[in-house]
DNA sequence: ATGAAAGCGCTAACAC
DNA sequence: GTGTTAGCGCTTTCAT
């Protein structure tokens, strides 16, 4: 049996109008929920529409009315739990604000090329606003569109002051984690320092961690990293040799990797070395007991949408630049340093 | 400083045509990458377009050509790592197949109402095909559109034979997990059994687990559950009393919850009771050592897109109904049962 | 190789 | 309250 016989052309508004014995305008009014339509007309139109399986063509209506009410969301990678949750929360908040969101994921390949395809695609769909939840798109790439529709960055520190942004207070996160560790007596600490162009948020975190560590009187061994997994062995080596008593990572994924490597060597945290991460989103983190910092995804999503609504309605006309605070999550993978043991 | 001065109307094809001194038709041809255009015209058009920041209006082009080439993806919740990963992989596979994907998340509230809004929205956007990665939409709701465009369900067992589907072999998953546990000597096992209307995949898993347990000679204590967290205490009670020596869960999230409850009571797996989950996607599962079953997300995404391409091109004209196999992941939360200890 | 003209399905004045 | 008339920005014959 053939699965699809395709063709059966979508019924149009004219089909409905004809079948209902009214003008196309009336049908339009019914679907737009406009006032000037009689009860009876509404009923007949709805009935006929259902019967025919009519679904308004948003493409056409968007064209005609010049402007859809849906906002576009540009994503990078929902496989990362932190982004997956952000995605979900943004959707929810948007929904509650009466906004429809359509999202596209940028391809990961060629930095700066394929990326923009999704941007153009969304712009081309005439979305009424754009939420950019990925660093894969630079502020420069957003520039040409800033004057055409509100664009707000969500979840990434925005270095420029040109585009609206609601981001996590990564500096605070780094400082809190750093202080926690120096407060526990650690004086030589390895920091996995992500390159800025690999992940700007992680770079900011690592930088803040390093700063706090220095302020707390600790010496820092900086290990520049790009992809998850980089320098993990090196860090563990340092710990095994007793060169450092703590390894700090700018993300939970990297911290888990360190934990894994430690385990592979028969070492463990915090007995042999303290380990910290950052994000705090993954389910099950509590079971692992990772010391981390929990970013306020829910709050960020809320602020992002609230601001977007303000931007859309024109109530806000200045550049939005907010940071939301998170929570330190002390775990069992970090603990006080006992100099005597080394 | 005003952030947005809006208005600056998007440049249209006519603007470009005018500025380039050619007809709109030529501009169209250039952007459609059609053959019959002179090198020189192409150059000038591209140049002018860039200058003006022109982005083709897909809405209009879709209307005119009757049919976008993008496919719609209906999601439920990307916060669940398994769905987040599926989402990501579907995007990647689609991208590699030259398909653009736009996705919408269905609202979670009223079963069957708001849900359909996203469906209609996507249909209304005239997508050329639909991937449904959520159980939130019933097959009945998809029915009216089956004849208009290819619809394929991804990641959920599809009970009917009407709509295309690529799903995980949940029955195999359940059987393998059940056999593992009986093979380890467990004879009285508690199974968190999700209600079918809460989560069909979990229901199938739990049912298969129960079946395998029975076949392996074990007695099953069925604990009907809905939301994550349900019956967790009850299960732990049974274990504490020695009524069961293993607790099997139809998802990792539930298993983690059990582990957490166990920990809260000072009990642990597998010493006091064996615990198993199902999904195997969460990062860090290996550190927790959870015994689980890893569903083949990557493979599923690949098959889903491959089939979609076939459906789109008309190469496939029968109903697609595939299941992809996963992998048993024996962990450290389950172990042999030692009757003497109880 | 290029242009002119006719819509795609819908909304938005503007009459009635 | 309802219908009429223009388009929205683009693709597409069909000429040239």
HSE (side-chain half, CA atoms, 13 Å) at A220 = 23
Pairwise CA distance, residues B115 & B75, whole Å: 10
Pairwise CA distance, residues A231 & A195, whole Å: 13
8 A C-beta contact, residue B85 and residue B56: no
- Give the closest of A59, A91, A148 to B59, CB-based: A59
Distance from CA of A216 to the nearest CA of B (A): 31
Three-class SS of residue A67?
coil
Average pLDDT score over residue span B117-124 = 89
pLDDT computed for residue B2 by the predictor = 38
Pairwise CA distance, residues B213 & B219, whole Å: 7
pLDDT band at A109 (very low <50, low <70, confident <90, very high): low
pLDDT band at A339 (very low <50, low <70, confident <90, very high): low
Higher pLDDT, residue B221 or B108: B221
Residues with CB under 7 A from strand C: A 9-10, 12-14, 24-25, 28, 31-32, 54, 56-57, 60-61, 63-65; B 21-26, 29, 35-38, 40-41, 60, 63-64, 66
Interface of A with B in 175-234 (CB under 8 A): none
pLDDT computed for residue B1 by the predictor = 38
| Residue B340 per-residue DSSP state | G
Three-class SS of residue B249?
coil
Pairwise CA distance, residues A161 & B219, whole Å: 65
Cα-based distances in Å from B308 to B67, B150, B174, B317: 16, 7, 28, 11
Average pLDDT score over residue span A259-286 = 95
- Which residues in chain A have their CB less than 8 angstroms from residue B311's CB? 3-4
Number of H helices, E strands in chain A: 13, 12
Cα B38 from chain centre: 46
Q: Is the pLDDT of residue A27 over 70?
A: yes
Average pLDDT score over residue span B9-27 = 91
Average pLDDT score over residue span A28-56 = 90
Burial of A194 (0-12, 13-18, 19+ CB in 10 A): buried
- Which residues in chain B have their CB less than 8 angstroms from residue A103's CB? 102-104
Pairwise CA distance, residues B53 & B11, whole Å: 7
Residues 6+ apart with CB under 8 A from B214: B220
Pairwise CA distance, residues B243 & A145, whole Å: 65
C-beta neighbour count of A156 within 10 angstroms: 22
C-beta neighbour count of B33 within 10 angstroms: 8
Mean pLDDT of chain A: 91
Pairwise CA distance, residues B205 & B295, whole Å: 12
pLDDT computed for residue B271 by the predictor = 94
- Give the closest of B57, B95, B114 to A107, CB-based: B95
Helices A114-124 and B58-65 cross at an angle (nearest 10°) of 70
Among residues A127, A111, A280, A123, the alpha carbon closest in space to that of A205 is found at A280
Phi-psi category of B319—alpha, beta or left, where left has phi over 0 and alpha has psi -120 to 50?
A: beta
HSE (side-chain half, CA atoms, 13 Å) at A252 = 26
Phi-psi category of B50—alpha, beta or left, where left has phi over 0 and alpha has psi -120 to 50?
A: alpha
Among residues B188, B216, B156, the alpha carbon closest in space to that of B208 is found at B216
Per DSSP, the residues of A81-108 read: HHHHHHHHHHHHHHHHTT-EEEEEEPPS
pLDDT > 90 in chain A, percent: 70
Q: Is the pLDDT of residue B111 over 70?
A: no
pLDDT computed for residue A138 by the predictor = 87
**CB contact (8 A) between residue A63 and residue B58:** no
pLDDT tens figures, A207-248: 999 999 999 999 999 999 999 999 999 999 999 999 999 999
pLDDT computed for residue B4 by the predictor = 44
**CB contact (8 A) between residue B88 and residue A78:** yes
Mean pLDDT of chain B: 91
Nearest-nucleotide field for B58 (CA, C1'): D10
Of A3-17, A81-95, A116-130, A289-303, which gets the smallest average pLDDT?
Answer: A3-17
φ/ψ of A250, rounded to 5, equals: -80, 5
Q: Is the pLDDT of residue B20 over 90?
A: yes
pLDDT tens figures, A146-166: 888 999 999 988 888 889 999
Pairwise CA distance, residues B165 & B264, whole Å: 41
φ/ψ of A182, rounded to 5, equals: -70, -35
Residues 6+ apart with CB under 8 A from B197: none
Per DSSP, the residues of A177-228 read: HHHHHHHTT--EEEEEEE-TTT-HHHHHHHHHHHHHHHHTT-EEEEEEE-ST
Residues 6+ apart with CB under 8 A from B61: none
- What global pTM score does this model have? 0.91
Pairwise CA distance, residues A65 & A55, whole Å: 17
Task: State, as a whole number of angstroms, the distance between the CA of B32 and the C1' of C2.
Answer: 15
pLDDT band at B5 (very low <50, low <70, confident <90, very high): very low
Pairwise CA distance, residues A177 & A291, whole Å: 9
**CB contact (8 A) between residue A6 and residue B125:** no
pLDDT band at B98 (very low <50, low <70, confident <90, very high): confident
Helices A58-65 and B58-65 cross at an angle (nearest 10°) of 120
Task: State, as a whole number of angstroms, the distance between the CA of A120 and the C1' of C1.
Answer: 29
Please report the sign of the dihedral spanned by the C-alpha atoms of residue B150, residue B153, residue B154, residue B160. negative
Residues with CB under 7 A from strand D: A 22-26, 29, 35-38, 40-41, 60, 63-64, 66; B 9-10, 12-14, 24-25, 28-29, 31-32, 54, 56-57, 60-61, 63-65
HSE (side-chain half, CA atoms, 13 Å) at A124 = 22
Sheet strands side by side (includes B246-248): B219-225, B188-194, B246-248, B274-276
pLDDT tens figures, A73-99: 999 877 888 889 999 999 999 989 989
User: For an interface test with A, which of B10, B50, B102, B113 has the most A Cβ atoms less than 10 Å from its Cβ?
Assistant: B102
Pairwise CA distance, residues A195 & B30, whole Å: 40
pLDDT band at B112 (very low <50, low <70, confident <90, very high): low
8 A C-beta contact, residue B304 and residue B168: no
Pairwise CA distance, residues B193 & B210, whole Å: 9
Average pLDDT score over residue span A302-324 = 94
Three-class SS of residue B163?
coil
pLDDT tens figures, B183-235: 999 999 999 999 998 899 999 999 999 999 999 999 999 999 999 999 999 99
Interface of A with B in 90-149 (CB under 8 A): 91-92, 95, 100-105, 107-108, 114, 117, 120-121, 123-126, 144-149
Q: Is the pLDDT of residue A8 over 70?
A: no
Neighbouring-strand partners of residue A248: A191, A276
Q: Is the pLDDT of residue A295 over 70?
A: yes
Burial of B195 (0-12, 13-18, 19+ CB in 10 A): middle
Rg (CA), chain B: 26
């Amino acid at each position: 049996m053939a699965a699809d016989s395709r063709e059966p052309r979508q019924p149009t508004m004219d089909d409905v109008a004809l079948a209902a014995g009214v003008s196309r305008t009336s049908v339009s009014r019914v679907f737009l929920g406009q006032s000037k339509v009689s009860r009876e007309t509404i009923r007949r139109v709805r009935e006929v529409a259902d019967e025919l399986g009519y679904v308004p063509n948003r493409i056409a209506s968007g064209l005609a009315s010049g402007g859809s009410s849906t906002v576009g969301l540009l994503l990078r990678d929902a496989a990362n739990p932190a982004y997956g949750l952000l995605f979900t929360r943004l959707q929810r908040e948007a929904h509650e604000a009466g906004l429809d969101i359509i999202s596209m994921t940028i391809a990961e390949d060629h930095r700066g090329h394929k990326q923009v395809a999704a941007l153009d695609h969304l712009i081309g769909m005439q979305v009424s606003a754009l939420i950019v939840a990925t660093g894969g798109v630079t502020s420069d790439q957003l520039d040409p569109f800033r004057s055409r529709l509100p664009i707000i960055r969500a979840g990434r520190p925005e270095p420029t002051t040109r585009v609206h942004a609601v981001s996590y207070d990564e500096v605070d996160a780094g400082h809190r984690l750093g202080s926690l560790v120096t407060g526990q007596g650690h004086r030589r600490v390895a920091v996995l320092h992500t390159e800025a162009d690999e992940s700007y948020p992680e770079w900011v975190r690592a930088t803040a961690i390093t700063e706090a560590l220095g302020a707390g009187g600790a010496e820092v061994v900086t290990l520049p990293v790009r992809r998850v997994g980089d320098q993990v062995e090196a860090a563990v080596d340092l710990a095994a040799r007793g060169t450092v008593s703590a390894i700090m990572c700018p993300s939970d994924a990297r911290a888990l990797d360190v934990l894994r490597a430690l385990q592979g060597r028969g070492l463990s945290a915090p007995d042999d070395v303290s380990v910290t991460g950052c994000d705090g989103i993954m389910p099950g983190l509590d079971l692992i007991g990772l010391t981390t910092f929990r970013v306020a995804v829910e709050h960020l999503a809320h602020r992002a949408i609230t601001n977007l609504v303000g931007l859309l309605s024109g109530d806000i006309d200045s550049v939005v630049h907010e940071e939301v605070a998170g929570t330190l999550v002390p775990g069992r993978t970090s603990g006080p340093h006992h100099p005597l043991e080394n």
